[in-house]
Amino acid sequence: MLDIGPIHRTEYELGGDRSEPVCVAEAPGRIHYMGEHGENGAGLFLSSAIDRTIRVSVSVRKDNSLRFFAADIGERKRTTLVNLKYKREDRWANYIKLAIHIFAELGYPVKGLNFTVSGDIPQQIGLASSTAIEVAAAVALKGYFKAPIQENELIRRLVKAQADFFGKESGPVDYLIAFSARKNHFLVVDEATLEVKRIKSPFSRYRFLLMDSRVPRLGVDEELQQRRLDTRKGLEMLSRKRQGASFREFASGDLLESMGSLPEEIRRRSLHVVEEIRRIGEMTEALKKAEYEEISRLIYHSHESLRDLYEVSCPEIDWLVKRAQETEGVLASRMTGLGFGGCTYTILRENAGEEYRRRLEDYERIFGFRPLVYEVRLAAGARVVQAKA
């Protein structure tokens, strides 16, 4: 990653502002290992932060302008507090503006500020890069203002700001991960209670590889929305519209017995959600006990469920998982993210990397896409990197 401090200093010296960055903060990307296609508003996730991050620096200006510089692409944006609103053409800068919106709403004296952003989180494959920009900017501003705001309150305001600023609802899960993550730990995140449990990783002798399939994800929003509607309808039918009911109340056996009258697609979607909840519970215990065979079984079953029941995989992703499964030294592989493309994660022994990559050489010839491989580690959460007294 670029050294953001000197870049920030040089960028704004050219504009006549010689001040050093007052605060530099970073926030990580994340992986969902299980649970990303669950009950809306009451999901259960097995996740971790990864050692790919976004850094944001902030310093004061002499005027009342808000300036933004994306160091990785050499792009600049600007606005003022009066005009602080979402603009489609501002793309990445909108996520910093969202964080400014929070502190302006809290009454902090937001006037002229310079921002620089840089990062190494792969884009558009479901690793929460936009959330990382928001969190890094919010932590940098918290440091700049020396704001005594607690993390849970900042998370609440980030969720609210998504609705206020972007006009869309957003859950708290990615924010909880960004703030709660610890190095070499998995997180079990309960969206319903906002509880986060940490599990020490048993994979000191394993590597984590992300494989970006490079499959274009076009026109899938309607498909994903339909699946969410199907699961909501399934819960309504199973619970007889009882208010406050949750899929967690149904053991998979009970659900199977109750499903005879459900339409087939709704039955499959609902079954995936319930079985994934069960798998996360079993995975929690398997990770604690370092039961590698059980971990492998659960991850592969989770992928099969996404492929066959929830139906959000695709031939390219299934091919990548199958080739990983056939490779000696690979523990497990699964798609991650929204599906219909995106990427897989693979857990493999230290010495299995060369054979794994060799087996993937046919991918481009068969599908016409050149995949990208990223090695990642389970990382800590958001933090202040540099603060000027």
Is beta strand 372-376 parallel, antiparallel or unpaired with respect to 206-212? antiparallel
pTM of the model: 0.94
Please report the DSSP string for 126-165 in residue order. Answer: SS-HHHHHHHHHHHHHHHHHT----HHHHHHHHHHHIIII
Contact 165, 377 (CB under 8 A): no
Same domain, 260 and 228: yes
pLDDT at 243: 65
At residue 19, does pLDDT exceed 70? no
Same domain, 372 and 383: no
Same domain, 179 and 213: no
Same domain, 220 and 279: yes
**For residues 132-138, average pLDDT:** 98
Phi, psi torsion values for 128, nearest 5 degrees: 65, 40
Same domain, 260 and 348: yes
The pLDDT tens digits for 247-303 are: 887 755 566 666 667 899 999 999 999 999 999 999 999 999 999 999 999 999 999
* Band of residue 347 on the pLDDT scale cut at 50, 70, 90: very high
pLDDT at 241: 59
| 173 CA to centre of own chain | 8
The pLDDT tens digits for 43-90 are: 999 999 999 999 999 999 989 999 999 999 999 999 999 999 999 999
The pLDDT tens digits for 166-205 are: 888 888 999 999 999 999 999 999 999 999 999 999 999 9
**Residue entry with tokens 């296609």:** 37
pLDDT at 14: 64
Catalytic position from the list 51, 63, 164, 174: 174
| E strands, 61-110, in order | 65-70, 75-80
- 183/40 Cα distance (integer angstroms): 28
Contact 34, 46 (CB under 8 A): yes
- 169/89 Cα distance (integer angstroms): 21
At residue 124, does pLDDT exceed 80? yes
pLDDT at 35: 97
The pLDDT tens digits for 196-249 are: 999 999 999 999 999 999 998 877 889 999 999 999 998 888 877 566 678 887
pLDDT at 262: 82
- 192/172 Cα distance (integer angstroms): 10
Same domain, 121 and 35: yes
Assess whether 90 carries a catalytic annotation.
no
Same domain, 54 and 90: yes
- Could you tell me what percentage of the chain is helix, strand and coil, using 3-state DSSP and rounding each to the nearest 5? 45, 25, 35
**For residues 299-308, average pLDDT:** 98
At residue 143, does pLDDT exceed 90? yes
* Band of residue 165 on the pLDDT scale cut at 50, 70, 90: confident
Same domain, 169 and 210: no
> The CATH number of the domain where 295 resides is what?
3.30.70.890
Same domain, 54 and 183: yes
Overall domain count for the chain: 2
Same domain, 30 and 146: yes
Same domain, 212 and 193: no
Task: Give the tokens for residue 150.
Answer: 């607690």
pLDDT at 252: 53
pLDDT at 244: 64
- 161/278 Cα distance (integer angstroms): 33
Domain membership of residue 249 as a residue range: 206-377
Query: How much is the mean pLDDT over the chain?
Result: 92
- 31/293 Cα distance (integer angstroms): 21
Question: How many helices (H) and strands (E) would you count in the chain?
Answer: 12, 13
pLDDT at 53: 98
* Band of residue 139 on the pLDDT scale cut at 50, 70, 90: very high
Q: At what angle do helices 93-105 and 129-145 cross, to 10 degrees?
A: 40
Bigger pLDDT: 334 vs 389: 334
Same domain, 330 and 365: yes
- 302/283 Cα distance (integer angstroms): 11
